[in-house]
Amino acid sequence: MLNTIRTLIRICLFAANPQDLPADRQILTVCVAGTFIVLFVGYNMLAPGASPFLLAASHTLLVGVAWLVLLQITRKLTRWYQSASALYGTSAIMNLISLPLIAGSIPVSATGNGAQPGIGSFILISLWLWEIGVTARIIRESIEIKMSMSIGISLLMSFVLQFIMINLFGPGS
């Protein structure tokens, strides 16, 4: 399992590819569980009045469904275990990195009259762009398309996921 975590970190650093992961159901299960747990913790901090379990479960499920549909459309279902493990595993890592921002230990915005966005805002946007890049690389390697197209798909997946979550659970999701 330690080798898998190293590979996932290397994928986040653009030094490895999804095909470097073993095609294993158990690894996929651990990656999905890791993503769910990190999302649950994050949603619990962001929306304590809502149901963090339902938010995390919906988010995790929607990512999987979107990925499965994309692999089906491109006739690359044989890459499900490796690519989904990479997608969920890197998502868990990236969301884990963002937890200090969510917890408020790094201020996202300044307060007071004429306040400007804090350093946390720039870090959060940078993390989001990094995650878009990592997801785009996974898409490119998994379905063998140009990087520009995979960036577009990655952005589309991110925006559609947020749109669905906001429509299902409200702006706090």
pLDDT tens for 138-166 read: 999 999 999 999 999 999 999 999 898 88
Instruction: Determine which of 83-92, 96-105, 147-156 has the lowest per-residue pLDDT on average.
Output: 96-105
* Cα(16)–Cα(128) distance, integer angstroms: 20
Question: Which three-class secondary structure state does DSSP give residue 170?
Answer: coil
Chain centroid to CA 10: how far? 15
Q: Are 38 and 25 in contact (CB under 8 A)?
A: no
> Tokens for 66?
């979107």
Whole-model pTM: value is 0.87
* Cα(31)–Cα(37) distance, integer angstroms: 10
> Tokens for 107?
């201020």
> Tokens for 41?
């913790």
Higher pLDDT, 24 or 171: 24
- Dihedral of alpha carbons 105, 109, 113, 114, sign: positive
Most confident of 39-48, 51-60, 94-103: 51-60
Q: Are 142 and 76 in contact (CB under 8 A)?
A: yes
Nearest to 109 by CA among 98, 97, 122: 122
Residues for the chain: how many in total? 173
